[in-house]
Amino acid sequence: MFSASRVFSGVLLLTSIGVLVQAAVQVDFQVVQPLTLPAGSKQCTVEILSHTFGNSYGHPEIVQYSPPTNCGAVGSWAGISLNFTVTSNGTQYDRLGTFTLQDVEIWRTSTPEPVSGDGIIWTYVKDVSRYTPLFAEPGNFILELDNVVETGLEGQYATTLHATFYTSSDQYPAATQSNVIIPLGNPANNTGAQESVPPIFSLNVTVPENAVQIYAELQASGNSDEEFWYYNAANEYLNDLPSGTTYGDGPFREVRLLVDGQLAGVAFPYPVLFTGAILPEAWMPITSYGALDLPTYFLDLTPFIPVLTDGSSHTISIDVSSAESNHSINGNWFVSGNLQVVTDPSGKPTTGNITVNNSPLYATTHTVGNINANGLGTITVNATHDLHIESTIVSGSGETTNVVWSQSLQYSNTQYYLSDANVSASPCNPISSASLNCSFVQNVVQTATGTITSTHNGATVLSDTFSYPFAINLTNEFPLKSLDDVVFDHSYERTVIPSPLITGSTIHNRQVAVCKGGGSASPYNNNTFSYTDLAGNTYQRQVNAVNRVVVSDHQSGSLAPTSIVQHAPVIQSTIGPLPARFPGDRRIVHQS
């Protein structure tokens, strides 16, 4: 199977000439840390579902899940992982996929774009131990993966999902888990848990009266006219740009969680680039960071326990708002979430008071722009959102906890609408040029940063320090006939303790992908990743692809595999027409 091995920067590199070469399928992947679950424990793997998604709008795969009974006491597992393996042999768009178990969305993914001919395969393995209470009960398991098969888009996604349960023992203790997980979503018999906003999504929820800690996790992604939300122009300046350049409602988005109409917390989302983003060649075979496992956002809802534990139902709401005066967005942000609830063994109600509540409903925003008569110039949108809430709660057992929850988030986005004197006659005037024979440059430089902390009696239970620098420089012929050059430079920098139930970790990822000449001139994608966690695990990976082939791959750290299988190169001649998506292109069917 392995024809050659060589020592490469201290890491053993093996070259596979097995079945992959014969089939010449492209093996796509997202860079991510390997599982941290105990390899030494007894493991049981079960198939959850196996299904091919052709024309699948309104037809999610829904199966009856039952917990395995041969892998130690049900619910006492040391951990649980999912393995999602997918192939497709025809051209297709990137599609959104959501996994829902017991009404809770536990994973949001998207599909790498297949190329025509020999097709693609990918596997993503995810730690889902934090959802152990959901896996411990029988119930519905839903995979929604809305696909459309039509002329030119023949790809069907053949999917298999396996779950592996790791038995616990003295050596490998059971995963820490909450007592109750409350879904924030609304699955039906034709859809997963995610809800499309606007309008705001609201749900009446009754929290156990003996709740003493509540941690919220949010899922959110922009789709359709909001797929490239960071490229949407502020309404004030939209009409100064050539018509069809981009969408309105500006580039700022915050995901808000409200309790009975009061702001409980917000997330400034990480901009996930799907694999069809602008030039698909940029994301082969390395997808953008987060494309196969969209990041989620963690908030402490414990300060609202004095409100929530009165035995009545309360309204929890999720929406997404912009920096426009009426906070409007173009629609199709898909949101959901869950509440992990820790209860007091006394069974008696928790009481208390919110003592400080400084939580403005919306971010403070600032928009300035300067677009000239030729439709050229810049627009900057800045935002900050600071929130501080304190509570004192008294459990049924009599323990008093002082909760201090705060968020301080910053955002800046500058869009550049420029002319490229190299490609066209200068000055470019995209608005009035009769021939429209000029090149148009559309750059965006965005950052989102923040510090989020929650302490219970002074001890940190949740913290999140993040920075998501993001830039796309795009040069295209005007009107959007073809795209000449695109440079992507984006990073995910995050030190997060999601809750006491999940090990804290630090991830640094930077990905620079460059496509010149509309993807024809040796696109490259360089990805630098590092992971450390509070359990002492470490992992680094530097992987570069040129012209859709991995040319170097260095892994190190305690989680690094001892050998690396080099993916077989894709056969270039089989690359067919690729469906690109780019801002302002209204001809393209919608994501998901």
Ligand X SMILES: *[C@@H]1O[C@H](CO)[C@@H](O)[C@H](O)[C@H]1NC(C)=O
SS (H, E, C) 3-60: EEEEEECCEEEEEECCHHHHHCCEEEECCCCCCCCCCCCCEEEEEEEEEEECCCCCCC
Are the C-beta atoms of residues 509 and 492 closer than 8 Å to each other?
yes
Closest CA relative to residue 301, chosen from 499, 536, 131, 81: 499
Residue of 202, 224, 384, 547 that binds ligand X (CB under 6 A)? 202
Give yes or no for residue 351 binding ligand X (CB under 6 A): yes
Are the C-beta atoms of residues 154 and 478 closer than 8 Å to each other?
no
Give dist(CA 413, CA 77) in Å, integer: 44
Give the residue with the Cβ less far from ligand X, 441 or 497. Answer: 441
Least separation in angstroms between CB 359 and ligand X: 19
Give yes or no for residue 562 binding ligand X (CB under 6 A): no
Least separation in angstroms between CB 47 and ligand X: 8
476's tokens: 């295209």
Q: Lay out the site mask for ligand X across 162-191 (x = CB under 6 A, - = otherwise).
A: x-------------------------xx--
Least separation in angstroms between CB 410 and ligand X: 7
Beta strands in 189-288 (DSSP E): 195-197, 201-205, 211-222, 254-259, 262-267
Give yes or no for residue 384 binding ligand X (CB under 6 A): no
Are the C-beta atoms of residues 316 and 184 closer than 8 Å to each other?
yes
Closest CA relative to residue 128, chosen from 170, 99, 103, 97: 99
Least separation in angstroms between CB 322 and ligand X: 9
Least separation in angstroms between CB 42 and ligand X: 16
Q: How many CA atoms lie within 13 A of 115 on its CB side?
A: 21
Q: Which stretch binds ligand X (CB under 6 A): 22-30, 55-63, 258-266, 321-329?
A: 321-329
Least separation in angstroms between CB 164 and ligand X: 7
Give yes or no for residue 416 binding ligand X (CB under 6 A): yes
Query: Binders of ligand X among 324-343, rule CB under 6 A?
Result: 324, 326, 328
304's tokens: 């609202």
Give yes or no for residue 24 binding ligand X (CB under 6 A): no
Least separation in angstroms between CB 328 and ligand X: 4
Beta strands in 457-537 (DSSP E): 459-467, 470-478, 483-497, 505-516, 521-533
Closest CA relative to residue 68, chosen from 101, 45, 97, 34: 45
Give the residue with the Cβ less far from ligand X, 284 or 497. Answer: 284
The reply to whether omega before 187 is within 30° of 0 (cis) is no
Least separation in angstroms between CB 546 and ligand X: 5
Measured CA to CA in angstroms, residue 340 lies from 173, 174, 222, 348 at distances of: 20, 17, 25, 19
Are the C-beta atoms of residues 349 and 396 closer than 8 Å to each other?
yes
Q: Lay out the site mask for ligand X across 357-376 (x = CB under 6 A, - = otherwise).
A: ---------x-x--------
Query: Binders of ligand X among 487-516, rule CB under 6 A?
Result: 487, 512
Residue of 262, 384, 544, 574 that binds ligand X (CB under 6 A)? 544
Are the C-beta atoms of residues 381 and 343 closer than 8 Å to each other?
no
Sheet with 104-110, strands from edge to edge, namely 61-65, 139-145, 96-101, 104-110
Give the residue with the Cβ less far from ligand X, 125 or 361. Answer: 125
Give yes or no for residue 204 binding ligand X (CB under 6 A): yes
Tell me which DSSP letter residue 208 carries.
-
Give yes or no for residue 353 binding ligand X (CB under 6 A): yes
Give yes or no for residue 392 binding ligand X (CB under 6 A): yes
Q: Are strands 11-16 and 564-566 parallel, antiparallel or unpaired?
A: parallel
Residue with tokens 């190169």: 569
Q: Lay out the site mask for ligand X across 243-272 (x = CB under 6 A, - = otherwise).
A: ------------------------------
- Residue 364: how many CB atoms within 10 A of its CB? 11
325's tokens: 């005066």
Alpha carbon 13 to chain centroid, angstroms: 30
Least separation in angstroms between CB 118 and ligand X: 8
Amino acid residing at 268:
F
Tell me which DSSP letter residue 436 carries.
-
Q: Lay out the site mask for ligand X across 121-160 (x = CB under 6 A, - = otherwise).
A: --x-x----------------------------------x
Residue of 38, 54, 90, 557 that binds ligand X (CB under 6 A)? 90
Give the residue with the Cβ less far from ligand X, 262 or 412. Answer: 412
Are the C-beta atoms of residues 469 and 483 closer than 8 Å to each other?
no
Residue of 315, 364, 432, 457 that binds ligand X (CB under 6 A)? 315
Query: Binders of ligand X among 464-483, rule CB under 6 A?
Result: 471, 473
Give yes or no for residue 572 binding ligand X (CB under 6 A): no
The reply to whether omega before 561 is within 30° of 0 (cis) is no
Give the residue with the Cβ less far from ligand X, 59 or 388. Answer: 59
Give the residue with the Cβ less far from ligand X, 288 or 526. Answer: 526
Residues forming contacts to ligand X in the complex (CB under 6 A) are 83, 85, 89-90, 123, 125, 160, 162, 188-189, 202-204, 235, 315, 324, 326, 328, 351-353, 366, 368, 380, 382, 392, 394, 412, 416, 421-422, 435, 437, 443, 445, 471, 473, 487, 512, 524, 526, 544, 546, 551-552
